[in-house]
Amino acid sequence: MYMPWTVNTYHSKRKQHITNKLGDIVGEDENWDNILDPIGWDDDGKMKFAVMVVSDELEISEEEVQKKLDALLALVPGLRTRLSDIKVADLARLLARVPDVGAKMVALKSILPECDLAKLVSARPSLLLEDVDDVKAQIAEFREALPNLRVDFIIEDFPMWLEHKSPKKSVEELCRSLGVDAEKAQKVLGQNPSRLMMVQSREDMILYDNGSLEQVQASLLKSKDAAPDGW
């Protein structure tokens, strides 16, 4: 029999804020930086969830996924702090190619010898999924367009530069937009590398979770260059 006056536990969906010892909310009430993670949603919880989802996607046991994950983190330790940010689809592809990660790291190091590759890959894990020849050609074009800059060091700190698939065109567009020659443009980028992102082409820009504009268009046309399933 239902008793309307019975007191039951109410589970609120309201976010819980970080509070001090007196129970006062730390910082501004609307500040999302002071929101507590749900119970159990710590790094270990996120890791377990990632393993479960990847296990389902790859159709292998969670134990095997964990072994692959451990092997990947042994090769790229910095990825551990990025696991909650990496798309599950990308994580699945990385895990599926763990035997190739070592070889890929060696190949990338030969392309970017002055770069702290572990730092770069931790910031941009998708680099491990890209074709080595394409990356080699891209970096060579960067060096040709910007001969006075230490490209390796800049890309290490500004991995978003790798979004420019046509570096020469991007630098030319920067010169045009700033009204300067190539020499001056290099000085500008040396002082503020993020300025290159001002001239991203439509094809290079990332839209939502569907890859580049080129991939989105290819997806609509059902062509081979479409963004991967689950991207």
Residue spans per domain, the chain: 39-130
pLDDT for res 49:
81
pTM of full prediction above 0.85: no
pLDDT for res 44:
72
104, HSE (Cβ side, Cα atoms, 13 Å):
21
Task: Return per-residue pLDDT of the chain as tens, 231 residues.
Answer: 555 555 454 444 445 555 666 656 656 545 545 555 555 556 677 778 888 888 888 889 999 988 888 888 888 888 887 877 777 778 888 888 888 888 999 999 999 999 999 999 989 988 998 999 999 999 999 999 999 999 999 999 999 999 999 999 999 999 999 999 999 999 999 999 999 988 865 555 544 344 555 655 666 666 665 555 444
Determine the longest span between alpha carbons in the chain, in angstroms.
Answer: 83
Instruction: Map the chain to HEC letters.
Output: CCCCCCCCCCCCCCCCECECCCCCECCCCCCHHHECCCCCCCHHHHHHHHHHHHHHHHCCCHHHHHHHHHHHHHHCHHHHHHCCCCCHHHHHHHHHCHHHHHHHHHHHHHHCCCCCHHHHHHHCHHHHHCCHHHHHHHHHHHHHHCCCCCHHHHHHHCHHHHHCCCHHHHHHHHHHHHCCCHHHHHHHHHHCHHHHHHHCCCCCCECCCCCEHHHHHHHHHCCCCCCCCCC
Amino acid identity of residue 91, one-letter, is: L
pLDDT for res 202:
52
pLDDT for res 12:
46
- Output the six-digit token pair for 223: 């062509």
pLDDT for res 115:
95
pLDDT for res 46:
74
Find tokens 């976010």 and name the residue: 15
